[in-house]
């Protein structure tokens, strides 16, 4: 029996964007190409296009966020959508109303899309299974599971800086175990066909099955960074850690923090990335974060175009080919 992908409609076009898993390479390329076509909106004197005029998009953030929520809001407004930011701390869900009742009430107000961030893995999938047929759901990060738009803006940044994915060696460094971003990045990089994906971390910060994702594991920074084109640093996610996984942040920085000396082990034109927020002096030193090889602020800028692309594709306002399922 042919497996169905909840993220696609009956014609194989994007309806929800919950995870990178299950997509063919062409779907990811279509998202990147659409983002490229929308990136120039930011350079216009009037930073708006009418693609989502008349649509209502709701930001449902059950976890704190600044960068992601803000770029989603900006992206929606630049597409001319109406945006509702639901304050979860004072919403009816805090008064005992179920999540589904909240969703059904929002749907009754003729909302068209929910942008969901939640501390529980699978929350966005749960919501997508219960929304009305005309409503789309975009996962803005769920537990340790996925953060697909972050991964796609990272891919957009890599493509703009490096061109083709095929010859690239990419190293992801840090707290792989707790990082939903790392999982989505690995799926995106392997789907787009990079030469090699490496993960560099202490054993305590690696999932047991990480090799099954198609990556090569390193515990030593010098060996792991040798000849890489892209270095992606990850934040230590202390809020998701249980128990003492590290002796100290100081020792972690000595072993795995990205310094100018360690960056010299990569290729001379390697770029440095970080999904943010940055902990300076823990996973990266300031001279690298602010240095000439850093594209961290470019990632933030590119996040707007990529999220514009995903929202417009999900709501069917831009043309897209069918058959995005793996």
pLDDT at 242: 43
Q: Are strands 113-118 and 82-86 parallel, antiparallel or unpaired?
A: unpaired
SS3 at position 137 = strand
Whole-angstrom Cα distance, residue 314 to residue 180?
Answer: 22
The CATH-assigned architecture of domain 148-294 is 3-Layer(aba) Sandwich (3.40)
E runs forming strands in 100-145: 113-118, 136-142
Residue extents of the structural domains in the chain: 25-146+302-314, 148-294
Whole-angstrom Cα distance, residue 198 to residue 299?
Answer: 20
Whole-angstrom Cα distance, residue 245 to residue 242?
Answer: 8
pLDDT in tens, 107-121: 888 899 999 999 889
Q: State the helix-helix crossing angle for 180-192 and 25-38, rounded to 10 degrees.
A: 100
Q: Give percent above pLDDT 70 in the chain.
A: 90
How distant, in Å, are the alpha carbons of 56, 62, 300 from that of 67?
A: 21, 15, 8
42-46, 54-58, 177-181, 288-292: least confident range? 42-46
Vertex 242 angle, CA 236 and 243, to 5°: 100
How distant, in Å, are the alpha carbons of 4, 5, 55 from that of 10?
A: 9, 10, 22
CB 52 within 8 A of CB 41: no
CB 23 within 8 A of CB 324: yes
Chain length of the chain: 326
- Whether 148-294 and 25-146+302-314 are alike in CATH topology: the answer is yes
Structure tokens at 18: 């919950």
At 1, the pLDDT band (50, 70, 90 cuts) reads: very low
Whole-angstrom Cα distance, residue 57 to residue 53?
Answer: 11
Nearest-CA neighbor of 231 among 167, 191, 190, 275?
Answer: 275
pLDDT in tens, 209-267: 899 999 999 999 999 999 999 999 999 865 444 444 566 788 889 999 999 999 999 99
pTM here? Answer: 0.92
Q: In the CATH scheme, what is the code of domain 25-146+302-314?
A: 3.40.50.1370
């Amino acid at each position: 029996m042919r497996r169905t992908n909840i993220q696609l409609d009956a014609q194989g076009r994007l309806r929800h964007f919950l995870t990178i898993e299950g997509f063919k390479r062409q779907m990811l390329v279509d998202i990147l190409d659409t983002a490229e076509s929308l990136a120039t909106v930011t350079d216009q004197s009037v930073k708006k296009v009418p693609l989502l005029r008349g649509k209502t998009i709701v930001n449902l953030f059950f976890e704190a966020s600044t960068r992601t929520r803000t770029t989603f809001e900006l992206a929606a407004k630049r597409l001319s959508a109406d945006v509702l930011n639901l304050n979860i701390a004072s919403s009816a869900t805090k008064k005992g109303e179920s999540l589904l009742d909240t969703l059904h009430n929002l749907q009754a107000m003729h909302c068209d899309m929910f942008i969901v961030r939640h501390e529980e893995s699978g929350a966005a999938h749960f919501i997508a299974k219960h929304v009305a047929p005309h409503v789309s759901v975009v996962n803005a990060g769920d537990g340790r599971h996925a953060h697909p738009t972050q991964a796609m803006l990272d891919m957009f940044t890599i493509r703009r800086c490096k061109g083709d994915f095929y010859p690239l060696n990419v190293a992801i460094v840090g707290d792989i175990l707790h990082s939903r971003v790392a999982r989505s990045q690995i799926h995106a990089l392997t789907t787009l066909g990079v030469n090699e994906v490496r993960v560099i971390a202490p054993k305590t910060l690696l999932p047991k099955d990480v090799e099954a994702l198609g990556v090569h594991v390193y515990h030593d920074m010098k060996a792991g960074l040798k000849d890489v084109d892209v270095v992606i640093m990850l934040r230590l996610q202390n809020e998701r850690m249980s128990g003492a996984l590290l002796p100290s942040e100081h020792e972690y920085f000595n072993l795995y923090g990205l310094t100018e000396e360690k960056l010299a082990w990569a290729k001379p034109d390697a770029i440095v990335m970080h999904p943010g927020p940055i902990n300076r002096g823990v996973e990266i030193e300031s001279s690298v974060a602010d240095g000439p090889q850093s594209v961290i602020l470019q990632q933030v800028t590119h996040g707007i175009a990529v999220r514009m692309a995903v929202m417009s594709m999900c709501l069917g306002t831009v043309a897209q080919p069918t058959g995005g399922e793996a």
